[in-house]
Amino acid sequence: MRLWNEYRRTAHLLGNNILLAACMVCFLGCSAEERSSSSTAESRTVPVYGFEITGTFRHDTSAFTQGLQFQGGWLFESTGLRGQSSLRRVDPQTGRVQQRVNLPDRYFGEGIALISNRIYMLTWQEETGFVFDRDTLTVIDRFSYEGEGWGLAYDGHRLIMSDGTDTLRFLDPETLEVTGTQSITVADEPLRNINELAWIEGELWANIFPTHRIARIDVDNGTVVAWIDLTGILRRDQITGRIDVLNGIAYDEETQRIFVTGKLWPLLFTIRLVPPLADG
Ligand SMILES: [Ca+2]
C-alpha cells in the first residue's frame, strides 16, 4: 500500500509521463508481492481475473503485433515499426504466415478490425487508415482521422478506435466519420493508454500499454468491469530474444477461444479466464 500511495503522489506531482515511467520501473524492479499490494486499492472495486493456458502456438518473433483478429480459421495480424509494418494472414496451428502485405516505409501499422470481407487498419501517427480486401490483402480504400491511431474493434454496428488516451472514438463503418466518443474510467480514475482491442460477447477488451493487464470495458457506461492479469503468461525460459509488451487480443466466436500474444513474442496463447477468489 505504501508503494501505491507513493506512486500516486509522485504521479500527481510530476504528471503522466513520470507515472508511465514509474509503472515500467515497477514492472521491472518490483517483487510480485509489491506488485500485488500496489493494485490492492483498485482490486477492491474491480475484480481481477487470472488465466489458464488452453493452447500454445508459435508466433513470428519479428512480428511487432499491433492488431489481431480471428475469422474463418485464420488469424489476421497487423504489425508496426516504420519499414516493417505489415498485414498478415496466419495459420494459428503452425504460426506460419500464409500471406503478407507490407505498408510503405513511412507508415507505422496499428490496430485492425474485420467487417465481413474487409479489414480496416490504423496507423500510429500518419492519420491514415487503410481498408484491405480480406482475401487478397490488397488495399481497396483509405480514410483519414485526426490524431493517433492505436487499437480498433467492431461491435457489429460501429468501429471502436483507441488512440492511447482514455477516450474511445466510434466510427461509422460506411463513412468512417466519428459519430461519438466515450471516456473510460476505472475506480473513478481515467483509464489511459488503451491499446489493442477486441469485441468479446458484448464487452470491449483492451490491452493497457505497457502492462500485462487486459481491461474488460462496458462501453455504454464507460467503466472497467474487470481486469485480466496475464503476468507470467510468457515464461522466462520461453523467451528466445528481444520481446516487447503484451499486445494482441482476438476472439473465435464459434469456439469461444481467446487468443493473446505480444510484440515480438515467440508464442501465442489461447486462454480461459479464472475468476477471482471470493473475499474471505
Ligand atoms: Ca484485436
Return the residue matching grid coordinates 505498408. 103
Q: Rounded to the nearest whole angstrom, what is the distance from the C-alpha of residue 50 to the centroid of ligand 1?
A: 20
For residue 203, report the distance from its CA to the centre of ligand 1, in Å: 13
Backbone phi, psi, residue 271, to 5°: -135, 160
Q: Is 74 exposed, middle or buried (0-12, 13-18, 19+ CB in 10 A)?
A: middle
Q: Where are the alpha helices (DSSP H) in the chain?
A: 2-14, 16-29, 32-38, 40-43
CA of 280 to the centre of ligand 1 (A): 36
End-to-end Cα separation, the chain, in angstroms: 20
CATH of domain 49-274: 2.120.10.30
Residue 171 Cα, ligand 1 centroid: separation in angstroms? 16
For the chain, the domains span 1-38, 49-274
- The CA 74 to ligand 1 mean position distance, Å, reads 13
Q: What spacing in Å lies between the alpha carbon of 278 and ligand 1's midpoint? A: 30
213 Cα–ligand 1 center, Å = 15
Q: Each residue of 92-127: b (16+ CB within 10 Å) or e? A: beebebeeeeebeeebbbbbbbbeeeebbbbbbebe
147 Cα–ligand 1 center, Å: 20
- Which residues face 134 on adjacent strands? none
Q: What is the Å distance from ligand 1's center to 250 Cα?
A: 5
Residue 94, CA distances (Å) to 48, 55, 59 in order: 31, 12, 8
- Segment 153-202, tens digit of pLDDT: 999 999 999 999 999 999 999 999 999 999 999 999 999 999 999 999 99
DSSP 275: P
Average pLDDT of span 221-239: 97
Calculate how far, in angstroms, residue 51's C-alpha sits from the geometric centre of ligand 1.
18
One-letter amino acid for residue 152 of the chain: L
Q: Three-class SS of residue 201? A: coil
Distance CA 37, CA 61 (A): 33
Q: How far is the CA of 67 from the centre of ligand 1 (A)?
A: 5
pLDDT tens-digit readout, 53-76: 999 999 999 999 999 999 999 999
The alpha carbon of 4 and the centre of ligand 1 are apart by a number of angstroms equal to 30
> How much of the chain exceeds pLDDT 90, in percent?
82
For helices 2-14 and 16-29, the axis angle rounded to 10 degrees is 150
Q: What is the pLDDT of residue 277?
A: 81
Enumerate residues 6+ apart whose C-beta is below 8 A from 106.
82, 126
The percentage of residues in the chain with a pLDDT greater than 70, rounded to a whole number, is 84
Cell of 279: 473475499
Is residue 193 within 8 A of residue 210, CB to CB? The reply is yes
Q: Which residue has the higher pLDDT, 108 or 33?
A: 108
Residue 271 exposed, middle or buried by CB count within 10 Å (0-12, 13-18, 19+): buried
Question: What pLDDT is stored for residue 30 in this prediction?
Answer: 40
Q: Is the pLDDT of residue 50 over 60?
A: yes
Mean pLDDT, all residues of the chain: 88
Mean pLDDT across 1-22: 39
The C-alpha atoms of residue 85 and residue 239 are separated, in whole angstroms, by: 22
The rounded distance, in Å, linking the Cα atoms of 272 and 261 is 14
pLDDT of residue 44: 58
Mean pLDDT of 224-243: 97
70 C-alpha to ligand 1 centroid (Å): 8
Q: How far is the CA of 248 from the centre of ligand 1 (A)?
A: 6
* Arithmetic mean of pLDDT, 73-101: 98
> 33 C-alpha vs ligand 1 centroid, how far in Å?
31
On the question of pLDDT at 7 being above 90, the answer is: no
Separation of 78 CA from ligand 1 center, angstroms?
A: 9
Residue 22 is predicted with a pLDDT of 40
Distance (angstroms) between ligand 1 centre and the Cα of 13 equals 35
Q: What are the tens digits of pLDDT across the range 201-210?
A: 999 999 999 9
Amino acid making up residue 98: Q
Q: What is the C-alpha to C-alpha distance for residues 102 and 173, in angstroms, rounded to an integer?
A: 24
The rounded radius of gyration (Å) of the Cα atoms in the chain is 18
DSSP 262-273: ETT-SEEEEEEE
In contact, 269 and 53? CB cutoff 8 Å:
yes
Cα of 26 vs centre of ligand 1, distance in Å, is: 27
Q: What's the CA-to-centroid distance between 198 and ligand 1, angstroms? A: 4
